[in-house]
């Protein structure tokens, strides 16, 4: 079945890099997404990667996709306190727009 797994917590120091990992099960997913949820707010799309790509870079964000291992990661360079949030990995198993979300990783950035 469809399943997306993430670790629940990550704590880093300001200025360090953060790496948030995700595994998924549906190999037919065409796109994989990273969403950010700030406290008391809805989800905002951070970035996405097409399944035939290995890497995508967007300013401080780097997404790596290992399709063989069904592993997705989000690296945030020079992490800032404003990056503190919950980060959700999601896959799109080509079922009419449905997104399957992971449990979310709460990133805590300490000064």
Partner 1 sequence: EAQVTQNPRYLITVTGKKLTVTCSQNMNHEYMSWYRQDPGLGLRQIYYSMNVEVTDKGDVPEGYKVSRKEKRNFPLILESPSPNQTSLYFCASSPGAGVQNEQFFGPGTRLTVL
Sites of contact with partner 1 (CB under 8 A): 4, 6, 8, 29-31, 40-45, 48, 50, 88, 92, 94, 96-99, 101-104
Q: Is the dihedral of CA 26, 32, 38, 42 positive or negative?
A: negative
Please, which residue, 82 or 97, has the CB nearer to partner 1? 97
State in angstroms the smallest separation of the CB of 33 from partner 1: 8
State in angstroms the smallest separation of the CB of 14 from partner 1: 26
Compute the CA torsion angle 101, 43, 105, 12 (nearest 10 deg).
Answer: 150
Please, which residue, 83 or 91, has the CB nearer to partner 1? 91
Please, which residue, 1 or 111, has the CB nearer to partner 1? 1
Please, which residue, 18 or 29, has the CB nearer to partner 1? 29
C-alpha span between 14 and 16 (Å, rounded): 6
DSSP-assigned letter for residue 64: E
Residue 1, judged by CB atoms within 10 A of its CB (0-12, 13-18, 19+), counts as: exposed
State in angstroms the smallest separation of the CB of 111 from partner 1: 26
Neighbours of 30 (CB within 10 A): 12
State in angstroms the smallest separation of the CB of 72 from partner 1: 14
């Amino acid at each position: 079945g469809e399943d997306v797994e993430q670790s629940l917590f990550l704590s880093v120091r300001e200025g360090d890099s953060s790496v948030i990992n995700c595994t998924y099960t549906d190999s037919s997913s065409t796109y994989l997404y990273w969403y950010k949820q700030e406290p008391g707010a809805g989800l905002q799309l951070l970035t996405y990667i097409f399944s035939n790509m290995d890497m995508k870079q967007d300013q401080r964000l780097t997404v790596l996709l290992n399709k063989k291992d069904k592993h997705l990661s989000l690296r945030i360079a020079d992490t800032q306190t404003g990056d503190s949030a919950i980060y959700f990995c999601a896959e799109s198993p080509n079922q009419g727009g449905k997104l399957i979300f992971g449990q979310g990783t709460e990133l805590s950035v300490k000064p």
